[in-house]
């Protein structure tokens, strides 16, 4: 059942009157309907109704492209953006100054970079075999040499250098192992590493960029790992000491850490794969300007945060490491947050305030009167943390005494809301968490006073006109 949505807040900014420029190679498109075909009897175009797609992550069509036009022939396109040379300012867009002055209102160059990295995550989804009946279930559908091209990213200037797998550390009883293989798949393809190799793109970006992209939860054991919300020590002296929230060291969600550090005789851990690949890349390109950008959605966002922490821990001379995460859950405690800050790890969390996944796991308590040296400006942006500061101290103590998981938000936050878009079909948990919804909201967001561009409908109409005249 679709819920009625409240009226969209009007945008007070002046809207452009010039025609929308043609999409560049960085414009992002999603085909939401099947293309029309000719009727053999009368040669008239027959438009199909929107068909549900095969894989679970495609079952929902969150963007309503019929809002401004009854015809549904053409897909919704994200706002076309100019190819801007970042040059010497590339570190600002990678968060060297914690994105101060770039988030509200959202800087157009930063918007383009967020959408660009979101496409790498989308490629990870498109490359994964979700079909449980397939003999290649939970593996990558495409060869490494053509993955980006076959997943729709043919002209990025990046070359894929490493496939990544994640392994669950859950120990299953022997009798369960006789169950259907898809239900007990322990190791699965989770993402990839890609390196910018195109000279023109390197010049535009101002450095050589390395991307690590992670998909979200897909397999049964990954879902089970997500439910393991107890905190576990992380670091050089890592111990599997769950339920020890009084420990002063950095701690992270047990299930996320399990997926990152577990391995089997047939598959090394995700941690080992990441470390080996980064070591090789630093040896190859360490003498030139270099950035490491780790991006992911949902579970992939949590793994991106762990990978960033691990890289900065393992490689003392690592370059600037930036995380661009979409719809990520909470990852670790307050000490973990402090370590990330001291490392210089930069994290930009794209959060949909209507997405429940961003509010779990655990309980957030902000010890606002604790005297520490952390930067309060870039790590206390989440509204849940701000509200937690109003909780009486006796409740905070009760939470700690009962050893409930106490988490802390990390990084800077770009907070969006599904309720601000007039182009979303319905309003439910699933659509609020979809990666396509996140990219749609980033594309439309202007500022806290103008949450969604009123010109979005115009962009759709202009694109349709261009296609019809082509």
Active-site residue set: 298, 355, 433
3-state secondary structure the chain: CCCCCCCCCCCCCCCCCCCCCCCCCCCCEECCCCCCEECCCCCCEECCCCCCCCCHHHCCCCECCCCCCCCCCCCEECCCCCCCCCHHHHHHHCCCCCCCCCECCECHHHHHHHHHHHHHHHHHHHCECCCCCCCCCCCECCCHHHHHHHCCCCCCCEEEEEEEEEECCCCCCCCHHHCCHHHHCCEEEEEEEEEECCHHHHHHHCCEEEEEEECCCCCHHHHHHHCCCCEEECCCCCCCCCCCCCCCCCEEEHHHHHHHHCCCCCCCCHHHHHHHHHHHHHHHHCCCCEEEEEEEECHHHHHHHHHHHHHHHHCCCCCEEEEEEECCCCCECHHHHHHHHHHCCEEEEEEECCCHHHHCCCEECCCCCCCCCCCCCCCCCCHHHHHHCCCCHHHHHHHHHCCCCEEECCCEEEEECHHHCCCECCCCHHHHHCHHHHHHHHHHCCCCCCCCCCCHHHHHHHHHHHHHHC
Place of tokens 């998981």: 405
- Cβ atoms within 10 Å, residue 238: 15
Q: What is the dihedral of CA 141, 145, 149, 153, to 10 degrees?
A: 100
């Amino acid at each position: 059942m679709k819920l009625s949505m409240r009226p969209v807040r009007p945008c007070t900014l002046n809207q452009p009157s010039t025609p929308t420029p043609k999409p560049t190679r960085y414009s992002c498109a999603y085909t939401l309907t099947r293309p029309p075909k000719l009727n053999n009897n009368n040669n008239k175009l027959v438009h199909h109704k929107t068909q549900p797609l095969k894989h679970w992550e495609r079952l929902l069509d969150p963007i309503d492209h019929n809002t401004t036009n009854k015809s549904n022939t053409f897909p919704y396109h994200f706002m076309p953006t100019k190819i801007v040379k970042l040059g010497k300012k590339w570190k600002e867009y990678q968060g060297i100054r914690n994105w101060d002055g770039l988030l509200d209102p959202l800087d157009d160059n930063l918007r383009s970079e967020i959408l660009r990295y979101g496409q790498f995550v989308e490629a990870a989804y498109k490359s994964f075999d979700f079909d449980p009946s397939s003999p290649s279930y939970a593996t990558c559908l495409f060869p490494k040499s053509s993955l980006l091209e076959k997943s729709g990213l043919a002209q990025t200037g990046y070359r894929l250098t490493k496939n990544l797998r994640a392994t669950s550390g859950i120990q299953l009883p022997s009798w369960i192992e006789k169950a259907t293989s898809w239900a007990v798949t322990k190791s699965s393809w989770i993402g990839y590493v890609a390196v910018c190799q195109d000279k023109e793109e390197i010049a535009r970006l101002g450095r050589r960029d390395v991307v690590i992209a992670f998909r979200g939860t897909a397999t049964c054991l990954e879902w089970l790992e997500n439910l393991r919300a107890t905190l576990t020590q992380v670091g050089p002296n890592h111990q599997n000491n769950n339920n020890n929230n009084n420990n002063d060291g950095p701690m992270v969600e047990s299930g996320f850490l399990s997926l990152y550090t577990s391995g089997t005789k047939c598959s090394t851990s995700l941690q080992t794969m990441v470390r080996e690949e980064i070591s090789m890349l630093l040896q190859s390109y360490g003498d030139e300007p270099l950035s490491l950008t780790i991006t992911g959605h949902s579970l992939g966002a949590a793994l991106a945060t762990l990978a960033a922490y691990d890289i900065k821990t393992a490689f003392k001379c690592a370059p600037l490491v930036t995380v661009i995460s979409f719809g990520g859950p909470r990852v670790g405690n307050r000490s973990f947050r402090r370590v990330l800050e001291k490392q210089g790890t930069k994290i930009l969390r794209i959060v949909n305030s209507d997405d429940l996944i961003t509010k779990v796991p655990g309980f957030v308590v902000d010890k606002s009167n604790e005297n520490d040296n952390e930067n309060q400006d870039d790590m206390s942006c989440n509204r849940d943390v701000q509200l937690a500061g109003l909780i009486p101290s006796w409740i905070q103590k009760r939470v700690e005494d009962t050893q409930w998981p106490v988490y802390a938000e990390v990084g800077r936050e770009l907070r969006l809301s599904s309720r601000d878009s007039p182009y979303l079909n319905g309003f439910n948990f699933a659509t609020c968490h979809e990666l396509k919804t996140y990219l749609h909201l980033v594309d439309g967001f202007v500022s806290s006073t103008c949450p969604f561009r009123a010109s979005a409908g115009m962009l759709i109409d202009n694109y349709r006109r261009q296609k019809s005249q082509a």
